[in-house]
Amino acid sequence: MELRPYQRDAVEATYQHLRTRDDNPCITLPTAAGKTLVIATICRDAVSLWNGRVIIVAHVKELLEQSRDKLRAVAPDLPVGLYSAGLKRRDLSYPVTIAGIQSIYQRACDLGPVDLIIVDEAHLIAPDGEGMYRQFISEATAVNPHVRIIGLTATPFRLKTGMICAPENILNEICYEIGVRELIVQGYLCPLRTKAGIARADVSNLHVRAGEFVAGEVENVMDTDDLVQTACAEIVEHTTDRRSVLIFTSGIRHGQHVVEVLRTRHGLECDFVEGNTPTRERDAIIDRFKAGELKYLANCNVLTTGFDAPAVDCVALLRPTMSPGLFIQMVGRGFRLHPDKTDCLILDFGGNILRHGPVDDLRIKEPGKGDGEAPAKECPQCHAVVHAAYSVCPECGYEFPPPERSKHEPQATNAGILSDQVTDTAYDVTDVWYEVYHKRSDPAAAPTMRVDYRCGFAATFSEWVCFEHAGYARKKAEQWWRQRSNEAVPDTVDEAVDLARCGTLAPTLSITIRRKPGTRYDEVAGHVLGPKPPRIDTDEGAAQYAALPGGLSESEVPF
């Protein structure tokens, strides 16, 4: 099974971190980006190349089963054990063990020394205290003081304490990260869109406990007859051409109410699962949903982490949350690609986009800080949700009153689930310049290659390629170079500029400029390239470069 380019970059960045540092890395990949395949590749290499022992720990059996299946695909000859009460397996002596944390957290000594602990959904490691993950890691470290920990997560932050990586934490630094927006542009995640709605819920008077809305109060607010009736009518209206609709509710009573309205008022088949649904019944319902036999499925606190249903093309959020992690996990159920869908519709009845910002530009509050400025706002004229920095609605031209903002009631929204949906502009490139760039503000910083694109008579846009940086920045530079040149990736900026000026890079025909509200500079977000030139050290290449205006003779060709 071949890794996607960003998955390969994630694996290499992890190895680089383990080679050059003595602390523990974290990989951040969005929901549906394929974390399990990255985990399987690291396990295969750890055992087959370095004769190590690995344990993968996760908190739900679906993640354990996904890891087992991917390991079988990546390394069919690799002996893999399972340790999970839910799966009725207690294997301990294998080179790779996949374990449920609830089953294994007191058995680190029985497991024996391991070299690598991989934690799926690593944001669940408690920041302090005696949580199951911390207890297991502590005891495993006592057995082998040199054990290393790798975390993987789509949401590298906690509700109360902020980012999960810090020098004093179990995970110390994000070694690789790629965003939702980038993977959608590259075609690896499904595009998202939203629709306007009229169902409203006022959550302004809800109390917050431990950083989240009080569950009982949320359910009481969301489970009014008027709101459920109106929200269900909206869901039906907007999903007539949808194939698979997943609904997140605010409680069991609320979920049962939603199902009843969809069945009795609209004549639609809809089922409901929650934590106490018998396993056999729940599995049967989910299997029907995944098979396309059941179009509408409501749930409460069940189908977030580890739920894989690629055909989902509408996610209805009838649950407000203070947690950006939970928000993105719910929306992420629609990220996966499927041949029968072109995009995924997000219906947000809980004000989550307004609260947290677009899914690719979440606002992560620092512990102890106030709410601050809202990350997004709703246009009162067309109901689009846009970034808070807009003074004029890009959808309808409405001018927002400065600086006082009217109080918005949460409702289903029709734009803004991604922060950049209306800000990309393509420009034809007429000329390109390359130069070595040094930061004036930090002379000791590594130089970069500055690339200037001239577009038309006066417009010039720039990007910086970091050949002499480490980690992710270097990997991005390597990827940038390989897309354009058949020459080996340069080690230095001087070498890169020399080669670029010799004509060894593919011509840039056009670029896409992304203007993001609230940021100072435009971003070069995409390129249309011509063909790569031949290598310098070939007869064809030598003739081509010598024929260029001001071209080099063979004795002048570098390297």
pLDDT the model gives residue 211: 77
Lowest mean pLDDT among 47-51, 146-150, 200-204, 253-257: 200-204
pLDDT the model gives residue 185: 85
List, in sequence order, every beta strand (DSSP E) within 154-304.
Answer: 157-158, 162-163, 173-177, 192-194, 208-209, 212-213, 245-248, 270-274, 296-300
What is the CATH code of the structural domain delimited by 5-178?
Answer: 3.40.50.300
What is the band of 292 on the pLDDT scale with cuts at 50, 70, 90?
very high
C-alpha pair distances (Å), 260 with each of 245, 307, 465: 16, 24, 56
What number is the average pLDDT over the span 18-38? 93
Phi-psi region of 109 (alpha: psi -120 to 50; beta: other; left: phi over 0): alpha
Q: What is the pLDDT of residues 89-139, one digit of tens each?
A: 888 889 999 998 999 989 999 899 999 999 998 988 888 877 899 999 999
pTM over 0.75: no
Is residue 405 pLDDT above 70, yes or no? Answer: no
Q: Do 5-178 and 192-387 show the same overall fold? A: yes
What is the band of 383 on the pLDDT scale with cuts at 50, 70, 90?
low
Report angle CA 150, 152, 156 to the nearest 5 degrees: 115
In the chain, where are the structural domains located? 5-178, 192-387, 424-556
Is residue 360 pLDDT above 80, yes or no? Answer: no
pLDDT the model gives residue 545: 54
What number is the average pLDDT over the span 271-279? 93
What number is the average pLDDT over the span 181-206? 81
d(CA 9, CA 119): 19
Q: What is the pLDDT of residues 451-462, one digit of tens each?
A: 999 886 556 788
C-alpha neighbours within 13 Å on the C-beta side of residue 504: 25
What is the band of 374 on the pLDDT scale with cuts at 50, 70, 90?
low
Is residue 265 pLDDT above 60, yes or no? Answer: yes
Q: Are 540 and 555 a contacting pair, CB within 8 Å?
A: no
Q: Is the dihedral of CA 91, 93, 96, 97 positive or negative?
A: positive
CA nearest 357: which of 339, 331, 338? Answer: 331
Q: Are 386 and 379 a contacting pair, CB within 8 Å?
A: yes
CA nearest 156: which of 66, 35, 67? Answer: 35
d(CA 455, CA 429): 5
pLDDT the model gives residue 319: 93
d(CA 531, CA 507): 7
What is the CATH code of the structural domain delimited by 192-387?
Answer: 3.40.50.300
d(CA 483, CA 186): 14
Q: What is the pLDDT of residues 58-74, one digit of tens each?
A: 888 788 888 888 888 88
